[in-house]
Amino acid sequence: MARLKLGILISGRGSNLQALIDACAAPEFPAEIAIVVSNRPEAGGLDRARQAGIEGVVIDHREFGDRATFERELIAALDQRGVELVCLAGFMRLLTPTFVDRWRDRLINIHPSLLPAFRGLHSDERAIDSGVRFSGCTVHFVRPEMDDGPIVIQAAVPVLPGDDADALSARILEAEHRIYPAAVRLIAEGRARIVDERVVIEGEHAPVGTAFNPPA
Ligand code: GRF
């Protein structure tokens, strides 16, 4: 079976990109990375792509007069490589509705909170400040509103006594590295479908048990 062609958009260190690179290295994984695009030339993720022998391209938003021209360049780069699913992995530019609609249901994002809680930046800090006992991460299809759209997978991660934003972020990041490849697999296998703006997963198993924090 042909593997689904991914285009990964990054702006920074690219640890989620690495998780996807590692997953795609397994011959039975149903997707492959056709291109990595960074809007920042200094993004560490570009080295990860290079080391894996994957094409990494810089499309620097500062070189374009407006968002529309920048996004046209992005779309051209993705189209030229036959990309079928675009994965945002720490991509720090807001995308216009034109871009999002162009890739409707073929564009996913990972966010470090249990959406719809804590959309936007500094979600770890805000989770700690709010006193929630669980935060986590979410892979979702992208809609024009920021950090909005049908949810594919979430992981719940406990907030522990004494956590600062870095400690919580590191714990959440480990879960991100598991759920992003898992979400891509579900989509690539055609097992995650959007019905009435919710994701229906074919052959889904119920998760085991309920998590309590503190244990009850
Ligand atoms: C991750 O926490 C991701 O959820 C968020 O940006 C961060 C990117 O980290 N969207 P990395 O570049 O993948 O290491």
pLDDT of 119 > 90? The answer is yes
Tokens encoding 41: 């030339």
pLDDT of residue 118: 98
Residues 128 and 49 in one domain: no
Q: Is 205 annotated as catalytic?
A: no
Name the residue type at position 120: G
End-to-end CA distance of the chain: 47
Residues 92 and 138 in one domain: no
Output the residue whose Cα is nearest ligand 1's atom 4: 111
Atom of ligand 1 lying closest to residue 19 CA = 13
Nearest CA to ligand 1 atom 1: 90
pLDDT band, residue 207 (cuts 50/70/90): confident
The verdict on residue 209 lying in a domain is no
Q: Give percent above pLDDT 90 in the chain.
A: 96
Q: Classify residue 166 by burial, with Cβ atoms within 10 Å: 0-12, 13-18, 19+.
A: exposed
- For 194, phi then psi, to 5°, come to -95, 120
Q: Are 157 and 128 in contact (CB under 8 A)?
A: no
Map tokens 């690539």 to a residue. Answer: 188
Cα of 31 to ligand 1 centre, how many Å? 20
Ligand 1 mutation target, pool 176, 178, 179, most atoms within 8 A of CB: 176
Determine the structural domain holding residue 65 and report its residue range: 1-103
Neighbours of 57 (CB within 10 A): 17
**Nearest protein CA to atom 6 of ligand 1, as residue:** 90
Of the candidates 111, 122, 140, 205, the residue annotated as catalytic is 111
Is the pLDDT assigned to residue 208 strictly greater than 90?
no
Q: What is the mean pLDDT of the chain?
A: 97
Q: Contact, 152 vs 108, CB < 8 A?
A: yes
How many separate domains does the chain show?
2
Residues 184-198 pLDDT 10s: 999 999 999 999 999
Q: Classify residue 213: in a domain, yes or no.
A: no
CA geometry: angle at 114 spanning 111 and 116, to 5°? 90
Instruction: Confirm whether pTM is higher than 0.75.
Output: yes
Strand 56-58 with 151-158, pairing? unpaired
85 and 130 in a single domain? The answer is no
pLDDT digits (tens, 9 = 90+) for 125-154: 999 999 999 999 999 999 999 999 999 999
Instruction: Tell how far the Cα of 136 is from the centroid of ligand 1, in angstroms.
Output: 13
